[in-house]
Amino acid sequence: MIPAAFEYHRPQNMDAVLSILQEHGDDARVMAGGHSLIPMMKLRMADVPHLIDLQDVDGMAGIDVGADSIRLGAMVTQHDIIDDDALAAAAPILREAALQIADPQVRYMGTVGGNVANGDPGNDMPGLMQCLDAQFTVVGPDGARDIPARDFYEAAYMTAREDDEVLTAVTMPVPRGGHAYEKQKRKIGDYATAAAAVQIVKDGGTCAAASIAMTNLSDTPIFSEAAGAALVGTNVDDAALKAAVAAMLGDIDPSEDNRGPIAFKKHVAGVILRRAIERAWSRA
């Protein structure tokens, strides 16, 4: 289909972006890579009289890997993540997850900011950012503020970002220990039926810390604190794995759709999480 008529804006700086948002209010939307918004406009699921393209806005790209933290500009693409060796060395789970998003054409244009900002429960990066305890920086008329990824998602397509705010960066501590991002999907390019992001810290033969988040199994990504806690203090044996899976299943709330009935999704979620924990533990 063809989208409804709209006015296209391509500002050069954030002040201009905020000015357009304030001028047009609910009639204006920002676009990063466009892979979520443009299809919705074509299907007439989104009416956007004023489209603001962020491609030329200064200061929204770039990857900064420090000793203790990592900063990703909102316009960093999935391909940028895959191609950055310093980032892969510091946080290999980011590359592992990015390689499972859609296909190369999408990854060349799809951005981190777009993936996390619009609240699509099927996107891969929101759950991953919860697992990594990331912070999202948003800028609006009243200045900048940081919102924890674990507090950002309120419902499907509803987030803590105000309509006149723009997500500009993602910051996270450098992850420790072993990692895994496991994803089950029907075909290349599809959303996950279920996906799991896991980071595990090992001390001797014991799990010292674990962080677990699930994707596309509720109307928001799910950070399962209870699942991670079930592993801590154990040697990640079969009993611990079963306890972690049971805790995760208590946190998710999948719905039936063309990816399968609820019982199937819960089964897949358990298999995917167990596989992710085992792989992360082997790397810790």
Q: Which of 163, 90, 91, 148 is nearest to 116 (CA)?
A: 148
Confidence of residue 222 (pLDDT cuts 50, 70, 90): very high
Instruction: Write the DSSP assignment of 71-126 as a string of letters.
Output: EEETT-BHHHHHH-HHHHHH-HHHHHHHTTSS-HHHHHH-BHHHHHHS--TT-HHH
60 part of a folded domain? no
What are the φ/ψ torsions at residue 257 (nearest 5 degrees)? Answer: -155, -160
pLDDT at position 162: 94
- Over residues 26-43, the mean pLDDT reads 82
135, β-bridge pairs: 148, 171
Q: Is the same domain home to 279 and 183? A: yes
Q: Is the same domain home to 112 and 164? A: yes
pLDDT at position 33: 83
Q: Is the same domain home to 107 and 142? A: yes
2 part of a folded domain? no
Task: With a cut of 90, say whether residue 230 has pLDDT above it.
Answer: yes
CATH (domain of 86): 3.30.465.10
Q: How far apart are CA 241 and CA 231, in angstroms?
A: 7
Q: Is the same domain home to 47 and 75? A: no
Neighbours of 7 (CB within 10 A): 13
241 part of a folded domain? yes
Mean pLDDT of the chain: 95
Q: Which of 194, 188, 212 is nearest to 278 (CA)?
A: 212
Domain containing 163 equals 68-172
Q: Is the same domain home to 36 and 85? A: no
The dihedral through the CA atoms of 49, 145, 173, 153 has a sign that is: negative
- Strands 178-185, 28-31: parallel, antiparallel or unpaired by DSSP? unpaired
Contact by Cβ (8 Å): 233, 206:
yes
Q: How many domains does the chain have?
A: 3
For the ranges 50-59, 61-70, 80-89, which has the lowest average pLDDT?
Answer: 50-59
Position with higher pLDDT, 32 vs 166:
166
Write the single-letter amino acid at 200: I
Q: Label residues 62-84 b or e (16+ Cβ within 10 Å = b).
A: ebebeeeebbbbbbbbbbbbbeb
Report percent pLDDT > 90 for the chain. Answer: 86
pLDDT at position 27: 92
- Over residues 57-79, the mean pLDDT reads 96
pLDDT at position 35: 74
Question: For the whole model, what pTM was predicted?
Answer: 0.94
Q: Is the same domain home to 204 and 220? A: yes
Confidence of residue 201 (pLDDT cuts 50, 70, 90): very high
Of 132, 154, 172, the last residue of a domain is 172
Q: Is the same domain home to 152 and 89? A: yes
272 part of a folded domain? yes
Q: Is the same domain home to 96 and 164? A: yes
CA 268 to chain centre: 20
Task: With a cut of 90, say whether residue 183 has pLDDT above it.
Answer: yes
Task: With a cut of 90, say whether residue 257 has pLDDT above it.
Answer: yes
11 part of a folded domain? yes
58 part of a folded domain? no
pLDDT at position 129: 98
233 part of a folded domain? yes
Q: Which of 270, 267, 265 is nearest to 254 (CA)?
A: 265
pLDDT at position 284: 97
Of 172, 198, 213, the last residue of a domain is 172
Q: Label residues 251-269 b or e (16+ Cβ within 10 Å = b).
A: bbebeeeebbeeeebbebb
Confidence of residue 42 (pLDDT cuts 50, 70, 90): confident
CATH (domain of 24): 3.30.43.10
User: How many CA atoms, within 13 angstroms, populate the side-chain half-sphere of residue 147?
Assistant: 21
pLDDT at position 37: 78
Q: How far apart are CA 125 and CA 107, in angstroms?
A: 12
Q: Which of 206, 209, 198, 179 is nearest to 284 (CA)?
A: 179
CATH (domain of 274): 3.30.390.50
Task: With a cut of 80, say whether residue 36 has pLDDT above it.
Answer: no
Task: With a cut of 80, say whether residue 38 has pLDDT above it.
Answer: no
Q: Label residues 217-243 b or e (16+ Cβ within 10 Å = b).
A: bbbbbbbbeebbebbbebebeeebbeb
Q: Is the same domain home to 127 and 151? A: yes
Non-local (6+) Cβ contacts of 104 within 8 A are: 79
Q: Is the same domain home to 92 and 158? A: yes
Task: With a cut of 90, say whether residue 181 has pLDDT above it.
Answer: yes
Of 139, 172, 205, the last residue of a domain is 172
Q: Is the same domain home to 193 and 273? A: yes
CA geometry: angle 217, 191, 151, nearest 5 deg: 50
267 part of a folded domain? yes
Q: Is the same domain home to 18 and 76? A: no
Neighbours of 21 (CB within 10 A): 24
